Amino acid sequence: MNRTFSVFLFCLFLISPLFSQNLPVADPDPEVYREEMNRFRFWDAKNTFPENSILFIGSSSIVLWRTNEAFPDYPVINRGFGGSHYSDQLAHYDIAVKPYNPQWLVLYCGDNDIAAGKEAERVFKNYQELMQRIHTDFPKAKLVYVPIKPSRSRWSFWPEMSRFNKMVENYCSGQDWLYYLDFATPLLGADGLPDTVNFVGDQLHLSAEGYKKWNAILRPFLKKHFQQPVSPAR
């Protein structure tokens, strides 16, 4: 091996990490949720689901939200699946969203996207695509966006998460069917950091106290805006 070629290999070794750092983060494989989607299909085949429902969709913060207990007076359907990105929501849209006829949707997603290293702009494009699909299929439905929550375990990502939340807030302000509610600020303590009482031990997922705060935001909103389906005359 001549000296020139050796120097070339050495330089390539030094700069290769720089190239790898610039590679876009790959979307996760949506097939990991195949079993979860099969469970959704099984439940729907065995049970009737309410018309004009409130459909909760998104990642683990939706899964762990005891929506039926929190909103017993409303026709709630929970189709969250944990760890999911917006790309997963799009990939499984025909199973987790399209079969239902929601009057309202409640969405929490993007937390895992940003934590995986995706930039806010890229996640926002996925968000817009999901909104377009929902509005096309359910033009009369309305949607509440739950902003990405501040958590100590992902605090280093909070600037990018906040930037994404702001993009969504601005987008919602120009759409009469989209609502941005501030579920994030109530999770912060007096010191401006996520209050540990609102989270379980991993300091990522919400505790009962954290969900209590979320419920206190969503309940009065639903009371004001949700129209109970009118039973047909007998």
CA–CA gap between residue 71 and residue 219 (Å, rounded): 7
Q: What is the pLDDT of residue 14?
A: 46
List, run by run, the mean pLDDT of 10-residue segments along the chain (234 residues).
48 45 84 97 91 96 98 97 98 97 97 98 98 98 98 98 98 97 98 98 98 98 86 42
pLDDT of residue 23: 72
Provide the residue ranges of all domains of the chain, joining segments of one domain with +: 38-225
Does residue 55 sit in helix, strand or coil? strand
Measured CA distances, 209 to 57, 195, 197, 205 (Å): 21, 10, 7, 11
The two structure tokens encoding residue 74: 């409303």
Structure tokens at 135: 């509005």
DSSP letter string over 120-188?
HHHHHHHHHHHHHHHHHH-TT-EEEE-PPPP-GGGGGGHHHHHHHHHHHHHHHHT-TTEEE---SGGGB
pLDDT on residue 212: 98
* Cα(41)–Cα(27) distance, integer angstroms: 24
CATH class name, domain 38-225: alpha beta
* Helices (H), ranges, the chain: 3-22, 34-46, 60-63, 67-70, 86-91, 93-96, 111-115, 120-137, 158-173, 208-225
